Amino acid sequence: MKNIFSSNPIVILTSILLCCFQSNSSFAQNYWERTPGPGTVIVYDFIFKDDFVLIGTWLGGMYKSTDAGETWNHLENEFSNKSVYSLELLPNGNILAGSGNGIHFSSDNGETWTQSSLTDFLVSTITLDDAGSIYVGSVYENNIYRSNDYGVNWTALNSDIWGIRSIVTKDINLIVVASDAGIYRSSDTGATWQNVLPPNQSINDLTLIHNGNFAAISNFGDFYISSDEGMNWDSISTINNSARIIFSSSNGDIYLGSYGVYRSTNEGISWTKLNFLQSSGMVRSIAENNNFFFAGTYFSGVFRSVDSGNNWSQSSSGINNSTISTMEKGLINKVYAISVPAGLSVTSDNGENWSILNTMGPVTSFTASPNGTIFASSGGSLMGVILRSIDSGTYWDIILQVDSAITQVNVNFDNSVYAIINHKLFKSSNNGNDWFEIQLTSPAEFIKSVTFNNIGYIFCETGTGYFRSSDNGGNWEYLVSTPEGIVIFGITKTNEMYATASDSNFYRSTDFGNSWNSIYKSNGNAVKSFADDSEGNLFILLSGTGVLRSADNGIIWEEINSGLDNVSLNNLIITDNDYILAGTSGEGVYKSVNKTTSLENSFAELPASFLLEQNYPNPFNPTTNIRFKIAESGYVSLKIFDVLGNEIETLISGEKPSGDYEVKFDGRSLSSGIYFYQLRSGEIIQTKKMILIR
């Protein structure tokens, strides 16, 4: 690891030229950019108009594609972080959107939206009859609303049908409804209703097939046909699986959305399961446009087929409103991301492209071993499981199941697997096939976490402090010289250890935890994630602050948040070729624009109208002058720090007009050594070194 605080005088004088700062993104290139994935989101509905496709999603608003689903762009409007459950294209060219707050309509292809008179109603389905009347229903209500003026005004039909899943109209007067209470029918435009298929199970969807008959699918995969305008229903077949959507294609084939897509070419008598959509989970919507078939999934975005559904490929590039709970490095440049509650995705090109591997549920921990095996733990306090994948995350086996919580699984450099089960430490030496308990000092030990350095030392955080083992868990020693309340948040590639403590300081150990030095006074917020690159630059995610970077072993930290748009961050990871990725809550993954080791990310360009000059004389004894220039009036601070990050003196703190300034600093009360002076002006921060020689 490089050390710019070396005692070598040549290194010291050279390092004076290097400065750390954060620049305003309006003047310099942003540090971060948003990646186009992972595309893990619920897709509720599709519409096609002119040359674009529009989808409605869960908690992500709408995305539009102008290249037949190759890429998607998020529409930034009032729905940006809300759910859009249903979409409909009207004869006048307007688009209707059903949300949790009623109906909205757009006359500019979805860019802006106007609220209709129907509010406070979650619209889960929209349909249009031959006369242009619009019908809407909700799975959470027991009513249907109708509009005869393209959605401006609405009338309640008082249908008293609970849990409406789908509405289908035929001609002008006939309406058929799929609901949690079976199938209902009205032949007088909704004035009266008849339950024509009793509620022995929920009916999830309806459609009209090519010969004019009605078709329906139940929650349990039972397929029904009515050949008499919805009066009577015949049970034709079952797919022995839960089903959510039914779709009739232009050539007369019928498709069912389940865990994958099923197709029937004989009106539902028999079904063929098509390509499994790369473990995409439940298919929520199916649509056809020109030569393309589209499938919208629960938590796995959009898939597309160019051969009538025989084969599918993921088509979710740009759909990136997922929440990332975990990121972990794998082999050969791979980075895995777990989206809540979607599942597992992987990138091999620093986040430029993502592939969905599996829709595994929420996990408590996730780790990749040096031999390529991946482990995950899952479950609550009543049951915990450890899962293993030997094919890079596509398929998983449960290798351990217990009636206790499994809070962590981790792998040492020698492929030994460790797990914390009910706050006890367990180990497997054969890739997770067999497990045995490791006792640190007594049966009463309360294990909180287990981590390793890259030469095999094991560190266990317990209720009474940290224990260390240098022989694969055979013997343990208590780390007695640790600060009170210490929590190790990171171990670097060169085995330096970093921690926080009760006094809010950052601490560093270079001797495997035998001793600790205070290096930085923080604000007391928790460190949520830690990463280090190949040149020894440190990165932390500090709760309430964002991402901080240090190039000097943690003594001085700078914020690097430009381009993040104030998103909530969950985790950081450095790729094999030194890009940094940040997982967010609700906005997918961000990546650094440049490598963390590149000049562009080490020293951003300051505006010409902002300048902090090198102090003169330097070295100095006992006084020196500091000159700076600020571009705009505002709050300005100029402070002096020692090498441990302790504030020594505040030279300026207050409102200042734009202009040139010079301040004298008197160091006669200080000992010889390296000090730092830091200027803050608005969002711009710059730090430089100076040397006091007595």
pLDDT tens column, 47-100:
999 999 999 999 899 999 999 999 999 999 999 889 999 999 999 999 999 999
pLDDT confidence bin for 278, thresholds 50/70/90: low
Q: In this structure, are residues 253 and 271 in contact, taking their beta carbons and an 8 Å threshold?
A: no
Counting DSSP H helices and E strands in the chain, the numbers are 2, 64
Percent share of the chain, pLDDT over 70: 93
**pLDDT value, residue 241:** 87
Could you report the per-residue pLDDT of 552-589, keeping only the tens digit for each? 889 888 889 999 987 799 999 999 999 999 999 988 99
**Angstrom distance (rounded) from CA 520 to CA 542:** 13
Alpha-carbon separation of residue 514 from 269, 447, 552, 643 (angstroms): 72, 20, 21, 22
Beta-bridged to residue 302, according to DSSP, are 296
The stretch 380-391 carries a mean pLDDT of: 90
pLDDT at residue 118 greater than cutoff 90: yes
What percentage of the chain has pLDDT greater than the value 90?
66
Give the residue, 656 or 216, on which the prediction is more confident: 216
Write the single-letter amino acid at 693. Answer: I
Residue among 689, 691, 677, 675 at smallest CA distance from 642: 675
Q: How far apart are CA 109 and CA 113, in angstroms?
A: 9
Q: How far apart are CA 271 and CA 255, in angstroms?
A: 9
Q: What is the mean pLDDT of residues 621-638?
A: 90
Secondary structure letter of residue 154 according to DSSP: -
- Return the pLDDT at 644: 72
Lowest mean pLDDT among 313-327, 549-563, 675-689: 675-689
The pTM assigned to this predicted structure is 0.77
Tokens 């560093």 found at: 508
pLDDT at 44 over 90: yes
Backbone angles phi and psi of 180, in degrees to 5: -65, -15
- Of residues 490 and 379, the one with the higher pLDDT is 490
Of the two residues 694 and 160, the one the predictor is more confident about is 160
Q: Tell me, what's the pLDDT at 277?
A: 65
d(CA 207, CA 170): 10
Banded model confidence at residue 599, pLDDT cuts 50, 70, 90: low
**Interval 431-441 mean pLDDT:** 93
Query: What is the predicted pLDDT for the residue at 24?
Result: 35
Poorest-confidence range of 13-17, 49-53, 667-671? 13-17
| Per-residue model confidence (pLDDT) at position 603 | 44
Q: Is the pLDDT of residue 206 over 70?
A: yes
Cβ atoms of 556 and 686 closer than 8 Å: no
Q: 279: pLDDT confidence band, cut at 50, 70 and 90?
A: low
- Give pLDDT, residue 523: 82
β-bridge mates for residue 205, sequence order: 217
Average pLDDT value over all residues in the chain: 88
Confidence of residue 602 (pLDDT cuts 50, 70, 90): low
Q: What pLDDT score was predicted for residue 327?
A: 95
User: What is the DSSP code (8-state) at residue 202?
Assistant: -
CB 630 within 8 A of CB 659: yes
Task: Please report the pLDDT score of residue 660 as a whole number.
Answer: 86
Task: Give bridge partners of residue 337 from the DSSP assignment.
Answer: 327, 345
For the cut 50, the answer to whether the pLDDT of residue 12 exceeds it is: no
Q: Indicate whether 17 pLDDT > 80.
A: no
Both tokens assigned to 353: 């492209």
Query: What average pLDDT does range 273-277 have in this prediction?
Result: 78
Q: What is the pLDDT of residue 29?
A: 74
Give pLDDT, residue 5.
26
Compute the C-alpha angle 483/485/486, nearest 5°. Answer: 60
For residue 280, the model assigns a pLDDT of: 65
Which strand (E) or helix (H) includes residue 599?
helix 599-602
Segment 646-670 mean pLDDT? 91
Q: How far apart are CA 45 and CA 125, in angstroms?
A: 9
Q: What is the reported pLDDT for 544?
A: 86
Q: CA gyration radius for the chain?
A: 31
Whether the pLDDT of residue 15 is over 50: the answer is no
* DSSP-derived pairing of the beta strands 458-462 and 465-469: antiparallel
